[in-house]
């Protein structure tokens, strides 16, 4: 499935672009051709909503390159980037959501698949394509552009998926780490990672699953010292009921 192909579509007042309230929080959708960029957590939605009407009135197709956003104009187009692997997609905003604290965009199944985000919520970068960019074709990439190379550029404290170097550090004992669990099955570790990612909202340096001694271990770190690691562990235990143990550097 190719990315959505941006085109200039008028933004109408009212309808899906009028102010609305969900769970006691008021949202003011953007109704002008204004630039927009944000970093935060992305999720995706699939079978449960497939074939149902979206906020735009269009039928949701989990295999199309679309997304839901709380305030971007409907319709509009955005480039979404996964900083953990450098992949990018262009999606058409045609729905409202997600309404979970810390999440900024809800992707279609196919968009999440292309970004490598099907295992749960993960950090992304979202940037709206303005009319000027669409008219100029600035959103198109050269046909001979090489594949992306991962360069960690997320701000300090943002959870990322592991790189080779950080995964190695988590297994060799470089720095202090918090371990949230060890599982024989990878999907169990992935499920816990999603829960921790929703709870920490950028407080943990890196949230990663490492394979060690035949188990999939969910760890966060590295922390510069044991006191900082314990402080984060206490915060997650008190506020979210998440238990963890300290993994100290090997001597």
Q: pLDDT per residue over 75-106, tens digit each?
A: 999 999 998 888 999 999 999 999 888 899 99
In terms of C-beta density within 10 A (0-12 exposed, 13-18 middle, 19 or more buried), how is residue 195 classed?
Answer: middle
pLDDT of residue 145: 54
Can 15-136 and 164-247 be said to share one CATH topology?
no
Query: With bands split at pLDDT 50, 70 and 90, how would you rate the model's confidence at 224?
Result: confident
pLDDT of residue 244: 87
**pTM score of the predicted model:** 0.59
Does the structural domain 15-136 have CATH classification 2.40.40.10?
yes
Q: 145 to each of 77, 95, 114, 220, how far by Cα in Å?
A: 22, 31, 17, 34
Nearest CA among 3, 22, 220, 188 for reference residue 114:
3
**Cα 85 from Cα 160, distance rounded (Å):** 10
- Supply 183's token pair: 């599982």
Domain chopping of the chain, boundaries? 15-136, 164-247
Over range 173-198, report the average pLDDT.
80
pLDDT of residue 174: 61
Residue 164 has pLDDT above 50, yes or no: no
| Four-way CATH pick for 164-247: 1.10.150.120, 3.20.20.80, 3.30.70.1070, 3.40.50.10420 | 3.30.70.1070
pLDDT of residue 236: 82
Nearest CA among 159, 51, 67 for reference residue 112:
67
Highest mean pLDDT among 42-46, 99-103, 190-194: 42-46
Among the ranges given (87-101, 125-139, 159-173), the one the predictor scored with the smallest mean pLDDT? 159-173
Over range 164-176, report the average pLDDT.
52
**Cα 116 from Cα 45, distance rounded (Å):** 14
pLDDT of residue 115: 93
pLDDT of residue 157: 36
């Amino acid at each position: 499935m190719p990315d959505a192909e941006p085109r200039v579509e008028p933004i109408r007042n009212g309808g899906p672009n009028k102010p609305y309230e969900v769970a006691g929080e008021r949202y003011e959708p953007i109704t002008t051709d204004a630039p927009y960029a944000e970093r935060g957590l992305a999720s995706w939605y699939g079978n449960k909503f497939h074939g149902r009407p979206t906020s735009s009135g269009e039928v949701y197709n989990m295999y199309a390159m679309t997304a839901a956003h709380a305030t971007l104009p409907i319709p509009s187009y955005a480039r979404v980037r996964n900083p953990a692997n450098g992949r990018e997609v262009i999606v058409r905003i045609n729905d409202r959501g997600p309404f979970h604290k810390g999440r900024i965009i809800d992707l279609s199944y196919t968009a999440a698949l292309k970004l490598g985000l099907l295992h749960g919520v993960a950090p992304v970068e979202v940037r709206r394509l303005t009319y000027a960019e669409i008219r100029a074709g600035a959103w198109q990439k050269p046909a001979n552009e090489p594949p992306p190379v991962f360069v960690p550029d997320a701000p300090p404290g943002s959870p990322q998926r592991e790189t080779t170097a950080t995964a190695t550090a988590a297994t060799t004992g470089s720095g202090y780490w918090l371990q949230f669990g060890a599982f024989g099955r990878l999907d169990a570790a992935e499920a816990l990672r999603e829960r921790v990612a929703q709870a920490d909202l950028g407080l943990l340096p890196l949230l990663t699953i490492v394979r060690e001694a035949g188990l999939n271990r969910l760890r966060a770190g590295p922390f510069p010292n044991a006191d900082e690691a314990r402080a984060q562990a206490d915060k997650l235990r008190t506020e979210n009921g998440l238990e963890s143990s300290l993994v100290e550097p090997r001597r």
